[in-house]
């Protein structure tokens, strides 16, 4: 019984690691896309509302991208720390 639960714990930990890695990758992609969309809207903004909207989208994109970068750095450091 002990061996069976250890296998289940291993599978669960692998699933959690894969989910977190995909979440980090998704935040990097979404943040970069939002930043680029905000920048392109700002280039073509004709009104103050367009400029404000592009600024909000761009800042949110930078925040999400920065969070993804920070999470990936933490993940790399944790991986190196546990495997040395």
| pLDDT over threshold 70, residue 6 | no
Mean pLDDT of 57-84: 84
- Residue 4: per-residue pLDDT: 54
For residues 60 and 37, is the Cβ–Cβ distance under 8 A?
no
Instruction: Please give the model's pTM, rounded to 2 decimal places.
Output: 0.64
**Residue 24's closest CA among 80, 70, 81?**
70
pLDDT, tens digit, 9 for 90 and up, residues 17-44: 767 777 778 888 888 888 888 888 877 7
User: For all residues of the chain together, what is the average pLDDT?
Assistant: 79
| pLDDT over threshold 60, residue 2 | no
Domain boundaries, the chain: 23-82
Task: Name the band, by pLDDT with cuts 50, 70 and 90, for residue 1.
Answer: very low
Q: Measured on CA atoms in the order 9, 10, 15, 19, is the torsion positive or negative?
A: positive
């Amino acid at each position: 019984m002990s061996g069976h639960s250890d296998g289940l714990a291993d599978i669960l930990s692998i699933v959690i690691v894969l989910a977190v890695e995909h979440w980090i990758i998704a935040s990097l992609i979404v943040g970069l896309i939002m930043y680029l969309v905000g920048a392109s809207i700002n280039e073509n903004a004709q009104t103050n509302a367009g400029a404000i909207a592009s600024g909000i989208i761009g800042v949110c994109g930078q925040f999400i991208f920065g969070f993804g970068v920070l999470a990936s750095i933490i993940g790399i450091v944790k991986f190196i720390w546990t495997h040395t």
